[in-house]
Amino acid sequence: MRAIEAGYEAISFLIERKYLETDGAAIMAKCPDVPIYSSELDVMTNLTGYNLIKGVLGLFKRKPLPSPEEIVKNARRIAVLENVTNPTNVGAIMRSAAALHMDAVLLTPSCADPLYRRSIRVGVGTMFQVPWTYIGYVPSPAVKKAMRVMD
C-alpha cells in the first residue's frame, strides 16, 4: 500500500485468495483498473519461489530517480550510505532513516537497490516514504534503455 500512496504506478497484483475481501479490497479500491490475480498460498509460493509471502505481491513501474540536488534542496538531516551492498542492511537503514525523521537518503552506486524485494520487506516499505537517490550514478546504456521502455 505504501508504494501506491507514494505514487508508484501499479501494473498488477497477485493476492492470496483469502485476502481478496480485506487487503485485496483496499487495493482494488485504490487501483480499480489494475489486473488482480488470486490463488491459494501454495500456488503463490510455487510461482514465486518464496515461502515468505504475506498474501499480496505487487508489480510496479519504477519512478525516475530524482537528482541529488533535488533531494537535498530543503533537507536538513541526510543519511549517506556508502557501499552498503547487502539488501537487508539497506532495508534496515531505510527503516531507521524513517524512524529518525531523515529528510533524505543518498546512496553510492555500489549500494544495494532500496527497491529490491528483500530491502522493501526489511524496510517495511519506508523507502516509499523517505526521499532517496543515488549520488555519482551514471546509468549504463542498458539501464537507460530499460528506463525508456518502462516510461
pLDDT per residue as tens digits for the range 68-113: 999 999 999 999 999 999 999 999 999 999 999 999 999 999 899 9
Please report which residue ranges of 17-140 form alpha helices under DSSP H.
Answer: 23-30, 41-48, 68-72, 87-99, 117-122
**Domain spans in the chain, listed from the N-terminal domain onward:** 2-60, 68-138
Which H or E run includes 12? Answer: strand 10-16
Classify 126 as helix, strand or coil.
helix
Per DSSP, what are the bridge partners of residue 59?
Answer: 12
pLDDT digits (tens, 9 = 90+) for 42-53: 888 888 777 766
Average pLDDT of the segment spanning 44-66: 82
Q: Given 3.30.365.10, 3.40.1280.10, 1.10.10.410, 3.40.630.10, which CATH number is that of 68-138?
A: 3.40.1280.10
Model confidence at 35, in pLDDT bands (50, 70, 90)? very high
**pTM given for the model:** 0.80
Residue-level pLDDT at 136: 85
